[in-house]
């Protein structure tokens, strides 16, 4: 009887393993609160995948610990393709240099699936402030340590450190909680400029209260077609900073499942309705293969490791 029972379990396990993927609900863990760009993006893509594959896609918000809590959940999940992480750039590329100890290894505990979203960062100034990046740099060099800029996120804080090192200036960094804080700091003239996405500040840009001096990426921004790139303004060609998010799975997830997920996510990102929704929240769709995303992560990690080391900045 025991032999028969064991044989039945083996057959059942083999049958379960042989089921085509996906055969049950997929969970996407978002390590930030509901309502933010990463949450909205995950829900937009998740719904389209659910519609296409006929399986539920559940969005699970696990905020806390500067995205560490939710990230750890996925690092320890079963590598079967049914748990994904909506990873933020800082989680994979900056945390290793900022924290002495993490409960996961960004380079070893995840399988890159797809670069999903890119949000360009721009340099925004008060309408009465400098009229160009060159003018801003001249002001900063003439007044070392006195020109203040607002940083609402870890990425924009480190972008400011990169800006200082690339331009040879000493500027005062004022930390804020998110884009709403930096925008208010500009409007109240507590800071001279900020580095941020345009989603929160766009109404004030359109009303003429704020102005955009430069695009910090080397890709055009459809909503701001006449804004020059930072590289064109300064001649510093390797300055390219944006906020990005991507899907990763636990390390060890079968390559055929990773490939299937990648192809579906890239397909969804190309749907006009999805592109329009992403554009409305200041994001552009990503693309590429898992291998290309892995190379991109490595390059970003190398860049930010150098910036963090040079700045001496550490997470609190």
Sorted by where each starts, the structural domains of the chain and their CATH numbers stand as: 25-119+243-311 (3.40.190.150), 122-234 (3.40.190.10)
Asked if residue 220 has pLDDT above 90, the reply is no
pLDDT of the residue at 236: 79
Cβ atoms of 203 and 187 within 8 Å: the answer is no
Contact 141, 169 (CB under 8 A): yes
Name which of 92, 81, 98 is nearest 31 in CA terms: 92
Alpha-carbon radius of gyration of the chain: 22
Higher pLDDT residue, 137 or 202? 137
- Residue 7 — pLDDT band, cuts 50, 70, 90? very low
pLDDT score, position 15: 45
Place of tokens 């430069």: 214
216/228 Cα distance (integer angstroms):
9
CA distances from 43 to 30, 36, 113, 188 (A): 10, 11, 17, 35
Query: Is it true that the peptide bond before 14 is cis, omega within 30 degrees of 0?
Result: no
Contact 245, 69 (CB under 8 A): no
Which carries the bigger pLDDT value, residue 287 or residue 36?
A: 287
Distance between CA atoms of residues 311 and 113, nearest Å: 31
Instruction: Enumerate residues 6+ apart whose C-beta is below 8 A from 127.
Output: 208, 209, 210, 211
Backbone angles phi, psi at 46, to 5 degrees: -60, -40
- Per-residue model confidence as pLDDT tens digits over 72-101: 999 999 999 999 999 999 899 999 999 988
What percent of the chain has a predicted confidence (pLDDT) above 70? 94
Which of these, 125, 117, 239, 227, lies nearest to 183 by C-alpha position?
Answer: 125
Give the span between the Cα atoms of 86 and 255, in whole angstroms: 19
Task: Convert the pLDDT of each residue in 234-281 to its tens digit.
Answer: 877 777 788 899 999 999 999 999 999 999 999 999 999 999 888 877
Q: How far is CA 62 from CA 69, 86, 110, 128, 281, in A?
A: 7, 11, 17, 41, 21
Length of the chain: 316
Query: Is 13 a residue whose pLDDT tops 80?
Result: no
Tokens standing for residue 59: 């969005």
> What's the pLDDT at 102?
92
Are the CB atoms for 261 and 247 separated by under 8 Å?
Answer: yes
Spell out the alpha helix ranges (H) of 192-289.
202-207, 230-234, 255-269, 272-280
């Amino acid at each position: 009887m025991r032999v028969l029972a064991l044989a039945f379990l083996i057959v059942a396990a083999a049958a379960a393993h042989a089921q085509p993927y996906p055969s049950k609900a997929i969970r996407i863990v978002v390590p930030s609160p509901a309502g933010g760009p990463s949450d909205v993006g995950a829900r937009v893509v998740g719904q389209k995948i659910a519609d296409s594959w006929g399986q539920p896609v559940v969005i699970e918000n696990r905020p806390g610990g500067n995205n560490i809590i939710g990230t750890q959940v996925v690092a320890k999940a079963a590598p079967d393709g049914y748990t994904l992480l909506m990873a933020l750039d800082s989680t994979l590329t900056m945390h290793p240099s900022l924290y002495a100890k993490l409960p996961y290894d960004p380079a070893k505990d995840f399988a890159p699936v797809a670069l999903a979203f890119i949000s360009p960062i721009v340099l925004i100034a008060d309408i009465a402030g400098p009229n160009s990046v060159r003018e801003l740099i001249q002001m900063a060099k003439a007044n070392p340590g006195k020109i203040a800029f607002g940083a609402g996120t870890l990425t924009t804080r480190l972008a400011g450190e990169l800006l200082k090192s690339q331009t040879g200036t000493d500027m005062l960094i004022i930390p804020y909680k998110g884009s709403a804080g930096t925008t208010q700091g500009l409007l109240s003239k507590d800071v001279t400029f900020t580095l941020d996405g345009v989603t929160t500040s766009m109404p004030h840009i359109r009303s003429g209260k704020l102005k955009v001096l430069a695009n910090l990426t080397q890709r055009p921004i459809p909503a701001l077609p006449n804004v020059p790139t930072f590289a064109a303004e300064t001649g510093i060609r390797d300055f390219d900073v944006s906020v990005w998010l991507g899907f990763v799975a636990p390390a060890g997830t079968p390559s055929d499942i990773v490939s299937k997920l990648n192809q579906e996510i890239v397909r969804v990102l190309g749907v006009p309705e999805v592109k329009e929704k992403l554009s409305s929240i200041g994001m552009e769709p990503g693309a590429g293969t898992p291998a290309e995303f892995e190379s991109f992560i490595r390059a970003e990690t190398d860049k930010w490791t150098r910036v963090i080391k040079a700045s001496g900045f550490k997470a609190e």
